[in-house]
């Protein structure tokens, strides 16, 4: 029996099982940490208020500093999609629906999801590495020793800036995406701007804009909360900082996809 157990533990199936079970434990632990931090944040907001100056600094970082890469990613995606779609739609007699299709695609999905990925890559990784460095160099401990609540000091302005600023980033990126879709459609298929933008108004609904703004707020808050949490619980020196940053990016990507699926089920089915 002992020989069989030893053989089983050396098998690939057992190693896969151990890896998956460990990842499940890690996920459960991480979700518990996020819930704990979120509740602590609410307590800090009601008890100590909000640091307006720090909120403005983080909002500038989350909004203005991230715009170039966000607009680039959403714009490029719009150009790629419209260049593929425009010719085929014109050939099939669907030129009057190109603007409608591009608007629905960008406003409902591309604008928010690609903005979330861009902000995760730029801001989320930055937040995680910054707070992880503070943790491994004992700066977070020093804040607590001075009698300042480290969660309120580090988390509240960053998470609130994500909730406040990302909806604006998503709307601007979606607007640029629709404009570039029209320019690309005209360049690749000869579709007139008038036909494109007339079609755009058919596909633009207040419901979609509202959901896009709501998505932006949820995505922004999730990215900031996950990234800061990964950094806050980092340990192990420089290697720990790298692992925390990687975890922040991966889990933020996954959370965006999950939230997007939830929004799709709730509002479009």
Instruction: Compute the average pLDDT of residues 127-133.
Output: 92
Residue 147: inside a domain: yes
Beta carbons within 10 angstroms of residue 196's beta carbon: 27
Residue 189 lies in a domain: yes
Q: Over the chain, what is the mean pLDDT? A: 87
In a domain, 2, yes or no: no
* pLDDT at 165 (0 to 100): 93
Q: What is the pLDDT of residues 75-128, one digit of tens each?
A: 999 999 988 888 888 878 888 888 888 999 999 899 999 999 999 989 999 999
CA-closest candidate to residue 57, choices 10, 8, 123: 123
| Predicted confidence (pLDDT) at residue 2 exceeds the cutoff of 90 | no
Query: What's the pLDDT tens digit per position in 182-201?
Result: 999 888 888 888 888 888 88
52 inside domain:
yes
Q: What is the pLDDT of residue 16?
A: 74
Residue 6 lies in a domain: no
pLDDT tens digits along 208-246: 899 999 999 999 999 999 999 999 988 888 888 998 999
Distance CA 39, CA 186 (A): 51
Segment 137-158 mean pLDDT: 88
pLDDT digits (tens, 9 = 90+) for 6-41: 666 666 776 677 777 777 777 788 788 898 899 989
Report the share of the chain in percent with pLDDT over 70: 94
Domain that holds residue 263: 16-268
Number of domains within the chain: 1
- Whether 7 is covered by a domain: the verdict is no
Helices (H), 155-192: 156-189
- The reply to whether 93 falls in a domain is yes
């Amino acid at each position: 029996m002992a020989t069989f157990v030893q053989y089983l533990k050396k098998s690939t199936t057992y190693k896969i099982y151990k890896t998956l079970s460990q990842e499940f434990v890690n996920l459960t632990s991480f979700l518990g940490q996020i819930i704990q931090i979120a509740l602590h944040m609410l307590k800090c907001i009601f008890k100590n208020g909000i640091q307006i100056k720090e909120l403005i600094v983080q909002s500038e970082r989350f909004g203005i500093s991230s715009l170039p890469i966000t607009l680039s990613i959403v714009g490029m995606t719009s150009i790629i999609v419209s260049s593929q779609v425009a010719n085929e739609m014109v050939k099939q007699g669907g030129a009057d629906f190109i603007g409608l299709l591009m608007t629905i695609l960008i406003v409902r999905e591309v604008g928010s999801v690609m903005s979330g990925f861009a902000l995760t890559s730029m801001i989320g990784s930055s937040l995680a590495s910054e707070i992880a460095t503070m943790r491994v160099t004992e700066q977070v401990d020093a804040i607590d020793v001075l009698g300042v609540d480290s969660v309120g000091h580090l988390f509240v302005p960053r998470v609130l800036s994500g909730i406040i600023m990302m909806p604006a980033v998503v709307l601007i990126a979606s607007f640029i995406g629709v404009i570039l879709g029209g320019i690309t459609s005209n360049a690749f298929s000869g579709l007139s701007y008038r036909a494109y933008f007339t079609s755009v108004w058919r596909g633009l609904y207040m419901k979609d804009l509202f959901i896009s703004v709501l998505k932006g707020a949820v995505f922004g808050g999730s990215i900031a909360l996950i990234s800061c949490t990964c950094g806050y619980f980092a340990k192990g020196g420089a290697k720990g900082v790298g692992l925390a940053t990687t975890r922040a990016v991966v889990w933020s990507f996954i959370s965006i996809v999950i939230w997007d699926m939830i929004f799709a089920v709730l509002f479009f089915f």
